[in-house]
Chain A
Amino acid sequence: MLDFVQQLVSGIALGCVYGLIALGFVLVYKATEVVNFAQGDLMMLGGFFAFTFIGMLGLNYWLGFAGAVICMALFGMLAERVVVRPILGYPQFSIIMATIGLGYFLRSIVGMIWGTDDFKIETPFSHGVLRIGSLVLAYDKLSVIAATVILCTLLYLFFNRTTLGTAMRASSENMLAAYYMGIPVKRVVSIVWAISAAVATAAGVLLAPITFIHSNVGLVLGLKAFPAAVLGGFGSIPGAVVGGVLIGVIESMAGFYLPQGWKDVAPYLVLLVVLLLKPEGLFGVHTRKKV
């Protein structure tokens, strides 16, 4: 039983990281109907920025964290301006390919600058545990869970309560109509990319105590976060986090209770089954074209 709870908590923590990356996917998708395959790599780059600030320049953790988030928000805007904006509105497939290309590019550039070794960031949560009876919970995991809950709530409120959030949803529904209604679509899209890169960075930094940072971490985790976003129903913010947590828990349970090898495929098997039963994901809305 104790094992089970331990596994559950570490699964949830891992899942929260997936969920945070998935949030980035969902944000960009919600505002522009673009699927950003480089999302994981943005996270990786954010992690490296934080490593540079904290590990190499020796800045305070929180200062370095903030610095990395700001840098990455700017980088997100840059990436949007250069790669996405010229082809905004083109078939999804083209944009997916462009972001895959961006991912390749980022991975190699990071490898060339920082090298291909594993890095670790020291954080205030890296050590220490919370003991409840005989249950031992590490702070690093708890910090990830707490941060996810806070970020998710903020973003949900942002999207559903603020004018900017409404503008984002409007421009994804019909961009031309949004222009006509006076929404500065380009700026909106740019802001969305900034936010999603910032969220990705938060994920990358929070992740640091749990796993090492290396140039392929974004690809590996992105490939888990992507199913998470789909599982939750692409375009749903709570869905992304729930999907992430589900994938994380399934993965950690499968790793503990099932024979070797199941850990990696179990999330995908579950995803396929869910898609078979509910093609639009758990929280997705099923719509059909009007003729």
Chain B
Amino acid sequence: MSYFRAEDLSLHFGGLKAVDSVSFAVEKGEILSIIGPNGAGKSSIFNLISRIYPPTSGKIFFEDQDITQQPPYEIAGLGIARTFQNIELFENATMLSNLLVGRHRHSTTQLWQELLFLPSVRAHEKAHRRRVEQVIEFLDLEAYRDKLISGLPYGVRKVIELARALCSEPKLILLDEPSSGLNVEETGDMSFWIRDLKTDLGVTVLMVEHDMSLVNRVSDRVIALNYGKVIAMGSPSEVQRHPDVVAAYLGA
């Protein structure tokens, strides 16, 4: 059985088939990229997995558990974290509290304990903070700890979003266009970090990406989508040579 599996996943908005019976599997520890032209349904698949939309039909399995009916917040609890295409950070909070929200699925303290800030809460907070510091170090974010997100440049926010996802110690991470809006240098850093996610942290990565050089550098396998359907699957070079993929991009 695969680590993560989507079976016959469909999402219809009225007559529009954003995702049309898509099936794929992700193996533990691999980096799988989803590519495709704009409007191919890539982000919709992510939104189905993180339960922002309920699927029209189909099922999603993670570690052999059917997660199609789980409430959205439970998805993170299972160890699936994600980033967003257009950055969804908590704008009016510091980077540190953004990252600490990432720790939310590990918090066990009760409301009354927090009101009194009992020693147990304090100990938990310190433990969370230690984990957050590890992520900060991993992604070189030391300079921004107490900065408000609203004042930070786009490239940094993109990294912070990755950091926030990592703070939840995910088993599977969904990256929605991690390089969009980044310059060449930042994209290069991003590709190293994504590889490190796999090799150092052992996180499985499912990624939507437009930048083919990034896809080539990091992916183990690639899925190509068009009009909500899978048109090719395989190694990066195989998929890029696939005639349907070429047709989809060149419009031939």
Contacts and interface: CB of A to CB of B under 8 A. Distances in A.
Contacts of B84: 291
Interface in B13-43: 43
B187 interface: no
Interface residues of A, number: 1
A291 B52 CA distance: 9
Contacts of B43: 291
Contacts of A291: 43, 47, 52, 84-86, 88
A291 B84 CA distance: 6
Interface string B80-92: 0000111010000
Contacts, number: 7
Chain A interface SS verdict (over half) = loop
A34 B9 CA distance: 40
Contacts of B52: 291
A291 B45 CA distance: 12
Interface string A279-291: 0000000000001
Interface in A248-291: 291
B18 to A, nearest CB: 12
B240 to A, nearest CB: 28
A32 B88 CA distance: 25
B12 to A, nearest CB: 16
A291 B85 CA distance: 7
Nearest to A291: B84
Interface string B84-102: 1110100000000000000
A291 B47 CA distance: 8
A35 B95 CA distance: 33
A291 B49 CA distance: 13
Interface in B160-196: none
Nearest to B43: A291
A291 B82 CA distance: 11
Interface of A: 291
7 contacts: A291-B43, A291-B47, A291-B52, A291-B84, A291-B85, A291-B86, A291-B88
The 4 closest A-B pairs by CB, nearest first: A291-B84, A291-B88, A291-B52, A291-B47
